[in-house]
Chain A
Amino acid sequence: MAPRLAELDVSEPSENAVVISLSGEVDDSNAGQIMRAIADGVPASVSRLILDLSDTRYLDSSGVEVIFNLARDLSARRQELELVVPEKSGVRRVLELCDVTSVAPMHRTLDEAQA
């Protein structure tokens, strides 16, 4: 039983990138919190945030909003946002429908993103 709706796991920054894994579910009840937490997890020193959505079980338009806002904020700091979204996932379909790829490239795996 997951005690919380969603959890973030921030990796040690390496090679100018920080990986933040978002597991659980994102909806209107926690999107704002997640947005702030992710933003706080990105050190100014890195040039790239890899947001790993492999374990994200649910994400709706509020989660899409988070990604758009993140991309905008990071861009203002000359940082880039990349996403890891498994090929066959409901989350990918939602992100594609909302044209998230216009602001953040999507990788199928973390390895692919870090390659």
Chain B
Amino acid sequence: MHGGPVRVLDRHARGPRGPGRVLGGAEQLCGVVAVAGVLGDARGERDARADVELRARDEARQPAAEQLEVGAAGPGGDDDEVGRSGAEGALPSGELADHDLGDGGDDPSRGTRAERALDPVGAVDGDVGDGERPVAIPLGEERREPALELRAARQLVGLRPPGAAQVRAEGRLADDPEEHGQIARGAREGARIVLAFGELADQHRVQGGELAGDAPGRLGGATPAEARGALEAAERERGPPDAVARLGDAHELAHERDGVARDPAQGQAVDLLEGCVLEEVDEPLFDHVPPVAGGVLPCGPAHQVRTLEPAPAATGATVPRPSRIGRVAERGAGGRARGVDDPAPGVSDEGIAVDPLLGAALEGLRRAAAEVGVERATAETLQRSLLPTNLPEAPGLRLAATYLPGSSEARVGGDWFDALVLRDGSVALIIGDVVGRGINAAARMAQLQSAIRAYALEGLSPALVLERMNAFAHEVSGRPATLLFAVVDLEAETATLASAGHVPPLLIDPAGGCTPAETPPGTPVGAAAFPHYEETVIAFPRGSRLVMFTDGLIERPGENLAVGLERLAHASATLPDDVAEAAHRLVDRLVDQHGAHDDVALLVACHDQVQDRLELTVPADPAALVTVRRGLGRWLRGRGVPETDAYELQVACGEAAANAIAHAYPPGEAYFEVRASEEGDEIVIQVGDRGRWRTTSLAMGGRGLKLMRELTDEMSVQRDTEGTIVTLRRRRRAEAA
């Protein structure tokens, strides 16, 4: 979809141009521009309200974590983002509704703004003529025409990886919200850029459409309420934007909830973040808007906003800063609202003439897209580099795992899976979900991932591992995380689970029955000082599967978690035997075509049925000896081989394996293979490696060689250029021995 031409579907809604104030008055025509789109291919995002609901659900499940989030959300706090993004989650509809209702109609500052009007031409570059002025867009280093900017935005769009950003520009041109109440707002989809504009003042109609795309006229001919409804519906369908470029004049900025306040004494809008007084100059700047890829992009009356002076000392701000006509409030990625437009070099600090609708919208989008995009790319890279690339080979236990980044921007990071073979041959399964998203979440995940590995490898019990993790999460402060830790003991055919506020895993019994493996929910790590964790031991016989996941797999906007669990159980009832296929099938069935809204980590563990053959590939590391031994022992017992035979075969095979490890090439990176099968009443075990047994090594392993010979009926060594294969054969001796 992306990369298609931008088309203007409706171009007749240009407001009248001309000098003079565009203030108040129902007869005024004002433009509304909604520039929106999705960067990258649309893989489905969800409604902002869904975000809120999910969050609320999370909170209900993790009350302590929420408390911490809120507590940490202060300015400059490490977890600023967490709290922010939580707060922002409710922003789109609520914020807009506020604007619509308009609480600024009687604003005391309005009288002063017009009086402070500056020469708009002087504020723009000299190439801006009276008649055919291009729209000046503050771009930091340079300015471009909107067509270029649109194209740039589209290029950004095209560059996005799958699982795209949704960025929305919203704002209002009218300085009298009550009268005009327009909202520049749009939704982005695919590479499509949606543009809505129109005359709102007297007829309250939005005329607009989508510049390109497969659903033209989405916004056409609607009243503001209808337009908003349509956009909200689009959001429900596609998900909330990850970033919102907020447009507005000084007056409007004064109503921004973060960072701008009105100085009561002077009636000025004061930017608390930057500490400057904002002033709006209501001058239409541009009579002509250059063509945008074959069409004319109508534009509302131009305004400019500029910085006048440092804010009064009372605000605590001292540094005068350049004008701010738009701001980007990132959601999802969290982050503070920040100024969009720093002046280009050579542009007077006294003011930048811009078209707040077009310029700020595009610039806001561009910046937001760039920032969010960079964050996403970074977070995803970090995230992927941290996730295990291989799952350990645990004989009898088949593992498959997958990670899907969230489809919308900055929803990447913080979910992970892990699996470790412990020293006693049991297997630790881990799934975790760091609160929040983005780079910080991914970085936090890295910390927690390492820590839980260490505790798991210590051989601590699951509840104790979580206790240590909680202490760690407190000590190395950062975001809380939910964790599910399970240790599968195939010898005992059990799984021991402990949960730190994580959604319970699904247990699929050998007959295909699915039940959530209920375990006391516990508290997310890092969320409470002294939480209590409990272990639950569940039976995990051959043919059972355990499905561990993060809630992105089952969550859908506006839906109860139980419904999601139900859907998972339903999807799990008929799965292919192959565990990797089963994992894929689950993702296919549960994650809709647009992709997961949130990150998804999924780990499926299947306790194998008795197999005819044993085939293992294990790292050439002495620590893998126990894995081979256990796997062979279980296989032999599964084939009804008596204990004495089994033990001696384990020793013989262990010696061959130790040799393979000792001579593996390249050292430390190699794997070797163990195969076992039955031929008549003979057990045949083969150990193959890619190294060459040297005569010296055979001498060194003299006892091992002796044991191999003594404990089997036949031992042979085949060497070729590929490596060495040791074959051990032994007839069943039964109890007679």
Task: Identify the closest chain A residue to B622 (Cβ).
Answer: A29
Choice from B422, B496, B625, B644 contacting A29 with Cβ under 8 Å: B625
CB contacts (< 8 Å) of B73 on chain A: these are: none
A65 at the interface (CB under 8 A from B): yes
* CB contact under 8 A between A65 and B459, given known A27-B625, A27-B654, A90-B648: no
Kindly state the separation between the CA atoms of A21 and B214 in the bound complex, as whole angstroms: 76
Interface size on A, residues (CB 8 A): 20
Tell me the chain B residues, 698-717 only, with Cβ under 8 Å from chain A: 701, 703-704, 706-707, 710-711
Once the chains bind, are A94 and B423 in contact (CB under 8 Å)?
no
Those 10 A-B pairs whose CB atoms lie nearest each other, nearest first: A3-B459, A29-B622, A90-B647, A61-B703, A61-B704, A28-B622, A27-B625, A2-B424, A28-B658, A60-B654
Shortest beta-carbon distance, B121 to chain A, in Å? 78
Kindly state the separation between the CA atoms of A2 and B459 in the bound complex, as whole angstroms: 8
B650 at the interface (CB under 8 A from A): yes
B487 at the interface (CB under 8 A from A): yes
Once the chains bind, are B648 and A61 in contact (CB under 8 Å)?
no
Main secondary structure of the interface of B (DSSP, over half): helix
* CB contact under 8 A between A5 and B706, given known A27-B625, A58-B629, A60-B654: no
* CB contact under 8 A between A4 and B706, given known A27-B626, A58-B650: no
Show the binding face of B for A, using Cβ within 8 Å. Answer: 422-424, 426, 458-461, 487, 489, 492, 496, 621-623, 625-626, 629, 644, 647-648, 650-651, 654-655, 658, 661-662, 701, 703-704, 706-707, 710-711
Once the chains bind, are B704 and A1 in contact (CB under 8 Å)?
no
Task: Identify the closest chain A residue to B710 (Cβ).
Answer: A97
Task: Identify the closest chain B residue to A59 (Cβ).
Answer: B651
Task: Identify the closest chain A residue to B494 (Cβ).
Answer: A1
Kindly state the separation between the CA atoms of A95 and B29 in the bound complex, as whole angstroms: 98
Once the chains bind, are A4 and B654 in contact (CB under 8 Å)?
no
Once the chains bind, are A60 and B658 in contact (CB under 8 Å)?
yes
Tell me the chain A residues, 71-96 only, with Cβ under 8 Å from chain B: 90, 93-94
Once the chains bind, are A64 and B489 in contact (CB under 8 Å)?
no
A39 at the interface (CB under 8 A from B): no
CB contacts (< 8 Å) of B658 on chain A: these are: 27-28, 60-62
Tell me the chain A residues, 1-35 only, with Cβ under 8 Å from chain B: 1-5, 25, 27-29
Task: Identify the closest chain A residue to B625 (Cβ).
Answer: A27
Once the chains bind, are B622 and A27 in contact (CB under 8 Å)?
yes
CB contacts (< 8 Å) of B701 on chain A: these are: 61
Kindly state the separation between the CA atoms of A3 and B424 in the bound complex, as whole angstroms: 6
Show the binding face of A for B, using Cβ within 8 Å. Answer: 1-5, 25, 27-29, 58, 60-62, 64-65, 90, 93-94, 97-98
Shortest beta-carbon distance, B388 to chain A, in Å? 21
Task: Identify the closest chain B residue to A97 (Cβ).
Answer: B710
Choice from B422, B460, B661 contacting A28 with Cβ under 8 Å: B661
Can you add 6 more A-B contacts, CB < 8 Å, to A4-B423, A29-B622, A58-B629? A1-B424, A1-B426, A3-B461, A28-B622, A64-B703, A97-B711
CB contacts (< 8 Å) of A27 on chain B: these are: 622, 625-626, 629, 654, 658
Task: Identify the closest chain B residue to A3 (Cβ).
Answer: B459
CB contacts (< 8 Å) of B496 on chain A: these are: 1
Q: Show 18 residue pairs from A and B whose CB-CB distance is below 8 angstroms, ordered by the A residue.
A: A1-B492, A2-B424, A2-B459, A3-B459, A4-B459, A27-B622, A27-B654, A28-B622, A28-B625, A58-B647, A58-B650, A60-B658, A60-B704, A64-B703, A90-B648, A94-B707, A97-B707, A97-B711
CB contacts (< 8 Å) of A61 on chain B: these are: 655, 658, 701, 703-704, 706-707
Once the chains bind, are A5 and B651 in contact (CB under 8 Å)?
no
Shortest beta-carbon distance, B733 to chain A, in Å? 12
Shortest beta-carbon distance, A101 to chain B, in Å? 14
CB contacts (< 8 Å) of A60 on chain B: these are: 651, 654-655, 658, 704, 707
* CB contact under 8 A between A1 and B489, given known A28-B622, A58-B650, A61-B658: yes
CB contacts (< 8 Å) of B629 on chain A: these are: 25, 27, 58
CB contacts (< 8 Å) of B622 on chain A: these are: 27-29
Shortest beta-carbon distance, A75 to chain B, in Å? 19
Shortest beta-carbon distance, A31 to chain B, in Å? 9
Once the chains bind, are B655 and A5 in contact (CB under 8 Å)?
no
Shortest beta-carbon distance, A114 to chain B, in Å? 28
Kindly state the separation between the CA atoms of A93 and B651 in the bound complex, as whole angstroms: 11
Once the chains bind, are B648 and A93 in contact (CB under 8 Å)?
yes
Shortest beta-carbon distance, A7 to chain B, in Å? 11
Task: Identify the closest chain A residue to B623 (Cβ).
Answer: A29
Shortest beta-carbon distance, B538 to chain A, in Å? 14
Shortest beta-carbon distance, B459 to chain A, in Å? 3
Once the chains bind, are B654 and A5 in contact (CB under 8 Å)?
no
Kindly state the separation between the CA atoms of A2 and B424 in the bound complex, as whole angstroms: 6
Choice from A3, A5, A62 contacting B458 with Cβ under 8 Å: A3
Kindly state the separation between the CA atoms of A29 and B630 in the bound complex, as whole angstroms: 15
CB contacts (< 8 Å) of A5 on chain B: these are: 423-424, 626
Kindly state the separation between the CA atoms of A58 and B418 in the bound complex, as whole angstroms: 29
Once the chains bind, are A3 and B460 in contact (CB under 8 Å)?
yes
CB contacts (< 8 Å) of B621 on chain A: these are: 29
CB contacts (< 8 Å) of A2 on chain B: these are: 424, 459
* CB contact under 8 A between A1 and B487, given known A61-B658, A90-B648, A90-B651: yes
Once the chains bind, are A98 and B489 in contact (CB under 8 Å)?
no
CB contacts (< 8 Å) of A65 on chain B: these are: 703
Task: Identify the closest chain A residue to B628 (Cβ).
Answer: A27
Choice from B423, B626, B655 contacting A3 with Cβ under 8 Å: B423
CB contacts (< 8 Å) of A4 on chain B: these are: 423-424, 459
Task: Identify the closest chain A residue to B492 (Cβ).
Answer: A1
Kindly state the separation between the CA atoms of A103 and B113 in the bound complex, as whole angstroms: 101
CB contacts (< 8 Å) of B487 on chain A: these are: 1
CB contacts (< 8 Å) of A98 on chain B: these are: 703, 706-707
CB contacts (< 8 Å) of A29 on chain B: these are: 621-623, 625-626
CB contacts (< 8 Å) of B648 on chain A: these are: 90, 93
CB contacts (< 8 Å) of A25 on chain B: these are: 626, 629
Shortest beta-carbon distance, A57 to chain B, in Å? 9
CB contacts (< 8 Å) of A90 on chain B: these are: 644, 647-648, 651
Kindly state the separation between the CA atoms of A94 and B644 in the bound complex, as whole angstroms: 12
Kindly state the separation between the CA atoms of A94 and B648 in the bound complex, as whole angstroms: 8
Shortest beta-carbon distance, A3 to chain B, in Å? 3
Shortest beta-carbon distance, B709 to chain A, in Å? 9
Choice from B489, B626, B654, B706 contacting A97 with Cβ under 8 Å: B706
Kindly state the separation between the CA atoms of A64 and B711 in the bound complex, as whole angstroms: 15
CB contacts (< 8 Å) of B644 on chain A: these are: 90
Shortest beta-carbon distance, A68 to chain B, in Å? 9
Kindly state the separation between the CA atoms of A60 and B705 in the bound complex, as whole angstroms: 11
Task: Identify the closest chain B residue to A64 (Cβ).
Answer: B703
CB contacts (< 8 Å) of B661 on chain A: these are: 28
Shortest beta-carbon distance, B427 to chain A, in Å? 11
Task: Identify the closest chain A residue to B624 (Cβ).
Answer: A29
Shortest beta-carbon distance, B429 to chain A, in Å? 14
Shortest beta-carbon distance, B67 to chain A, in Å? 34
